[in-house]
Copies of this chain bind each other. A is one copy, B any other.
Amino acid sequence: MSERKITIAVDAMGGDNAPSEICKGAYEACNEFDDIEIILTGDTERIKSCLQSHPRIHIEHASEIIDPDEHPANAIRKKKDSSLRVAMEMVRRGDAQGCISAGSTGAIVAGGVLVVGRLEGIDRPALGVPIPSMTGKFSFMLDVGATVRCKPENLLHFALMGNVYSRKIMKVETPDIKLLSNGTEDIKGDETVLAARELIERKDNLNFQGYIEGNDIVYAKADVIVTDGFSGNIALKLGEGIMQGFKSLLSEEVRKSFMAKAGMLFMYPLIKRLWSRFNYEKYGGTPLLGVKGAVLKAHGRSKSPAIVSAISAARKFIEEDGINLISREI
A contact residues vs B (CB 8 Å cutoff): 69, 71, 134, 145, 148-149, 180-183, 185, 187-193, 213-219, 229-231, 233-246, 249, 253, 257, 259-260, 262-267, 269-270, 274
Contacts and interface: CB of A to CB of B under 8 A. Distances in A.
A266 B262 contact: yes
Given A217-B238, A234-B214, A234-B235, A229 B264 contact: no
Number of copies of this protein chain within its complex: 2
Nearest to A232: B182
29 contacts: A134-B249, A148-B188, A149-B191, A181-B234, A182-B229, A183-B233, A189-B230, A193-B230, A214-B234, A214-B236, A214-B241, A216-B241, A217-B238, A218-B238, A218-B242, A219-B245, A230-B231, A231-B231, A231-B234, A238-B238, A238-B239, A242-B242, A253-B270, A259-B267, A259-B269, A259-B270, A263-B263, A263-B266, A267-B267
Contacts of A134: 245-246, 249
Given A193-B230, A263-B265, 15 more contacts: A134-B246, A149-B190, A190-B230, A214-B235, A214-B237, A215-B238, A216-B241, A218-B245, A234-B234, A234-B235, A235-B238, A238-B238, A249-B274, A259-B267, A262-B266
Contacts of A237: 213-215
Nearest to A150: B190
A157 to B, nearest CB: 18
A260 B249 contact: no
Residue picked from A148, A193, A262, A265, most chain B C-beta under 10 Å: A148
Residue picked from A219, A229, A230, most chain B C-beta under 10 Å: A230
A144 B257 CA distance: 37
A233 B183 CA distance: 8
